[in-house]
């Protein structure tokens, strides 16, 4: 399966803090999936939302902590969420993430193209990504680790068993 071709609206150079949360002062920069994934081996992990418990306490920090181990096998590691670039950048700043790169899929187009867009109305989230990780080689999905129970029923389950960094590292080592 090839990854969907989309353009992500990213923010670069935002260095003026307003109210302690959002930073401004930079500019918009469109980045295509081709720019991010073409002729590269990458790990992409996707999660329901910035600033949410499992994403903030386990998944993102785990990939950051083992970034150098991952880089022995891949060119880059990306974290994607159906959040806008302002939110992703603020979350990475607040989590002190320096190595993993954020991708804000604000409209969910990439996530929809991956077949991972789900509705989470019970949590008040709306449309978000189901939790997964993927090894991608030159825009082709080689392996995906998708958490069990993918649904649009917005149940309280938020599994985190196979999209973790250790599962990905064990796969890459083989």
CB neighbours (10 Å) of residue 114? 23
Catalytic residue among 3, 43, 55, 144: 55
Residue for token pair 């979350």: 91
What per-residue string of b and e applies to 33-72 under the rule 16 or more CB within 10 Å gives b?
A: beebbeeeebbbbbbbbbebebbbeebbbbbbebbeebee
Is 22 considered catalytic here?
A: no
**Of 144, 110, 101, nearest to 128 (Cα)?**
110
Residues noted as catalytic: 55
């Amino acid at each position: 399966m090839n990854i969907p071709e989309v353009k992500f609206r990213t923010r670069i150079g935002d260095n003026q803090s307003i109210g302690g949360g959002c930073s401004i002062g930079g500019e918009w920069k469109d980045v295509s999936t081709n720019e991010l994934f073409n002729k590269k081996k990458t790990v992409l992990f996707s999660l329901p939302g910035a600033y949410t418990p499992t994403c903030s306490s386990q998944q993102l920090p785990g990939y950051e902590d083992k970034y150098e181990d991952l880089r022995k096998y891949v060119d880059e590691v990306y974290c994607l969420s159906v959040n806008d670039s302002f939110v992703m950048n603020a979350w990475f700043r607040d989590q002190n993430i320096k190595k993993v790169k954020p991708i804000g899929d604000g409209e969910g187009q990439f996530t929809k193209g991956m077949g991972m867009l789900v509705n989470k109305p019970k949590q008040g989230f709306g449309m978000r990504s189901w939790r997964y990780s993927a090894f991608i080689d030159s825009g082709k999905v080689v392996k995906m680790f998708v958490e069990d129970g993918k649904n649009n029923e917005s149940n309280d389950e938020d599994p985190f068993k196979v999209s973790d960094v250790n599962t990905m590292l064990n796969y890459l080592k083989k």
